[in-house]
Amino acid sequence: MKPSVYKYDQLEVHGVSSAGTGTCLTVPRLKMAIDTAQGWPFVYPMNHLFLTHAHIDHAGGVAYIVSQRGLMGLRDLKIYMLPELQKPIRKILNTWQELEGFDYSYEIVPVESGDRVKIDEYHYVQPFQTVHRVPSQGYALFQQKKKLKAEFHGKNSHQLADLRRQGVALEDVWYEPQFGYTGDTDIRFMDHCDPEILKTQSLFVDCTYWDDKKSIEHAMEWGHIHLDQLIERAGEFLGERLVLTHASRRYKKSDLEEILSRSIPLQFRSHFIHFP
């Protein structure tokens, strides 16, 4: 399985996404993945694995990934998930470990909305609330931003270096959401999540149903989003890109592109991207 590649600004995401078949997204530069699909090789090198929920098309590959990493001698895997998923996921991993007859190397870390997981000096991941048929949450990657404080504008590089040596904090530092993925959810995640999430530069969202082959009511019943719901609330997304994932297999790629060009109002057209 060769992953699709999404690039925007400094972000590069590799992944696959198809409703009911398999979804996983990785940020290779940071060795992080969200969901596992069936456990494809491009996920093995990721050390931070976040699970949105335990439907098999999203989390079914977890044992495969842990096992393959073991055979490859890869260590330091952390698997992040809602607290209520710890016990059943550990049970699955223990069962496979016993059947395979070698020790798996991984750590399960329970996380929920409001927590922050440090990825490196410049990035953290924050879980956020979503609404699905089973316990679920999305994840957003925040990136550090820095700017020289206004009071130091006009100083030359020697003066700044002197101040830095004296231990003066020269820059304002803050974090902005660069990449996020909702996992499976219905549209109400927009009302439940931290409002910062709606500012994510590239927000990957569940968009399972795209036209009148399936109604909004059907989407709500199955805990998914219909494209019409995203269009109706497009003005509430304050990021730059809304990346539509998890399309139902009933649509061909060409259908999806055609629906996008036909249905998205002109002012939002460059914001909506389909990710296969």
* Residues contributing to the site for Zn ion (CB under 5 A): 55, 184
**CA distances for 168 relative to 66, 121, 145, 162, 175, angstroms:** 45, 20, 18, 9, 20
Dist CA 105 CA 99 (whole Å): 15
136 versus 178: smaller Cβ distance to Zn ion = 136
DSSP state of 121: T
Query: With contact defined as beta carbons under 8 Å apart, do 163 and 170 qualify?
Result: yes
Q: Closest by alpha carbon to 248, among 274, 217, 270?
A: 274
Q: Give the residue carrying structure tokens 């409703």.
A: 19
CA distances from 273 to 49, 167, 174, 257 (A): 24, 45, 28, 9
Closest approach of Zn ion to the CB of residue 219, in Å: 12
CA separation for the pair 216, 242 (Å, rounded): 19
- Least Å distance between CB 235 and Zn ion? 27
Q: Is 156 exposed, middle or buried (0-12, 13-18, 19+ CB in 10 A)?
A: exposed
Which DSSP string do the residues of 153-181 spell out, in sequence order?
A: TT--HHHHHHHHHTT---EEEEEEEEEEE
Shortest distance (Å) from residue 135 CB to Zn ion: 11
- Nearest residue to 46 (alpha-carbon basis) of 61, 34, 58: 34
Instruction: Give min distance, CB of 238 to Zn ion, in A.
Output: 26
Q: Hey, which residues does 179 pair with through a beta bridge?
A: 141, 202
Minimum Å distance from CB 229 to Zn ion?
17
Q: Match 């696959």 to its residue by tokens.
A: 16
Residue with smaller CB distance to Zn ion, 119 or 244 = 244
Query: Closest approach of Cβ 121 to Zn ion, in Å?
Result: 34
- Sheet (strand 48-50) strand order: 4-8, 11-18, 22-27, 32-34, 48-50, 78-81, 107-110
Q: How far is the CB of 185 from Zn ion (least distance, A)?
A: 9
Taking the complex as a whole, how short is the minimal distance between the CB of residue 253 and Zn ion, in angstroms?
22
